[in-house]
């Protein structure tokens, strides 16, 4: 078994993959680490296989670069395939728009060795913007997987849904196989369906199994944000999609007697938030991009209990 696998799930990421691979090929302080890179093609229609083959021809022999294919679209399926294919004791996930700092691999492996109860951990995620983000963007930047939680390691709070995103996440494979179902309820954004939360769902199962979830500031990646991801057509469906996962996530670690209360509290709490938003912004709720995003998020959260039943009916 290797020390670490770096897995890159990608869908039509042929144009984005070269820069990510260059960053991985340039990693430092890995002389005493056995590691590999896996590109997980999530049913792409571009020339991703050609890109990987070209890099394999000139890739360092001591760091395997492998390709695998996952036909079922959805980030949850791609990550599950990466776990199954990986040979590393730890598996670090980089999305195809994540650029790792030169010491990311070394920092990831070191932290896992030093924190034996850590089932998963993440680090700093800094936004790399194609254009300047809108005013007050900081209010919603965590929803685009841009996170900085200070300079000291600390535990996340899963019981409050305070968790890291899947971008840059490192998991202990033993913990994943022990705790995470092979098929999650939330499968990730596919096409026009923007419902997210698959990364949080997996982490909640790890927490349920007794594993710790950590923040490690020594790990740093840059998340490339193109112009289109700062526009209304992308942000508003994203907000609603994240909200739609809320109730499902709160149910993961809930006891049966708690579930009706979670259902009710989710509805009443988001009715209150929507009312407060309209009072605060008055006529600007729909014209101000940030408040419009918040509205869609609260609206999605309000609908999230009913979304559970919708999915159950759809899957019958």
178 contacts: CB under 8 Å, gap ≥ 6: 209
Contact between residue 278 and residue 285 where contact means Cβ atoms under 8 Å apart: yes
Instruction: Give the model's pLDDT for residue 229.
Output: 95
Say yes or no to pLDDT of 277 above 80.
yes
Say yes or no to pLDDT of 63 above 60.
yes
Mean pLDDT of 18-42: 97
Give the pTM: 0.94
- Give the burial class of 85: count Cβ atoms within 10 A of its Cβ; 0-12 exposed, 13-18 middle, 19 or more buried: middle
Computed from CA positions of residues 120, 125, 130, 131, in that sequence, does the dihedral angle turn out positive or negative? positive
Q: Which CATH number fits domain 2-230: 3.90.550.10, 3.30.470.10, 1.20.1580.10, 3.40.50.300?
A: 3.90.550.10
Half-sphere exposure for 136 (CA within 13 Å, toward CB): 8
Mean pLDDT of 73-88: 95
Mean pLDDT of 72-93: 96
Contact between residue 120 and residue 170 where contact means Cβ atoms under 8 Å apart: yes
Domain boundaries, the chain: 2-230, 245-314
- Residue range 174-220, pLDDT digits in tens: 999 999 999 998 887 766 666 889 999 999 999 999 999 999 999 99
- Residues 8, 26: Cα–Cα separation, whole Å: 16
Q: Predicted confidence band at 303 (pLDDT cuts at 50, 70, 90)?
A: very high
At what angle are helices 17-25 and 48-57 packed, to 10 degrees? 20
How many Å separate Cα 137 from the centre of its chain?
A: 19
Say yes or no to pLDDT of 311 above 80.
no
Q: What angle do CA 129, 14, 228 make, to 5 degrees?
A: 30
Mean pLDDT of 32-57: 97
Q: Predicted confidence band at 309 (pLDDT cuts at 50, 70, 90)?
A: confident
């Amino acid at each position: 078994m290797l020390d670490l696998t770096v897995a890159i799930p990608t869908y039509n990421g042929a144009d984005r993959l070269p820069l990510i691979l260059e960053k991985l090929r340039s990693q430092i302080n890995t002389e005493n680490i056995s590691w590999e890179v896996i590109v997980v093609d999530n049913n792409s229609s571009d020339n991703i296989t050609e890109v990987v083959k070209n890099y394999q021809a000139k890739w360092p022999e001591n760091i395997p670069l492998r390709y695998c294919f996952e036909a079922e679209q959805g980030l949850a399926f791609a990550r599950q395939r990466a776990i199954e294919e990986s040979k590393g004791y730890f598996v670090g996930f980089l999305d195809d728009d994540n650029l790792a700092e030169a010491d990311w691999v070394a920092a990831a492996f070191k932290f896992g060795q030093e924190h034996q109860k850590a089932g998963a951990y993440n680090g700093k995620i800094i936004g790399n913007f194609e254009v300047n983000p809108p005013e007050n963007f900081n209010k919603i930047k965590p929803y685009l997987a841009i996170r900085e939680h200070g300079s000291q390691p600390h535990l996340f709070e899963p019981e409050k849904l305070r968790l890291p995103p899947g971008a840059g996440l490192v998991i202990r494979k033993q913990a994943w196989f022990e705790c995470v179902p092979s098929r999650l309820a939330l499968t990730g954004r596919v096409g026009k369906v923007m419902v997210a939360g698959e990364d949080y769902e997996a982490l909640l199962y790890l927490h349920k199994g007794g594993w710790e979830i950590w923040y490690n500031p020594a790990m740093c990646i840059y998340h490339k944000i193109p112009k289109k991801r700062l526009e209304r057509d992308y942000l508003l469906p994203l907000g609603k999609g994240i909200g739609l996962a809320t109730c499902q996530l709160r149910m993961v670690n809930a006891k049966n007697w708690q579930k009706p209360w979670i259902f009710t509290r989710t509805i009443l709490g988001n009715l209150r938030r929507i009312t407060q938003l309209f009072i605060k912004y008055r006529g600007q709720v729909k014209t101000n991009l940030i408040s419009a995003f918040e509205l869609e998020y609260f609206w999605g959260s309000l609908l999230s209990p009913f979304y559970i039943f919708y999915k159950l009916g759809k899957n019958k």
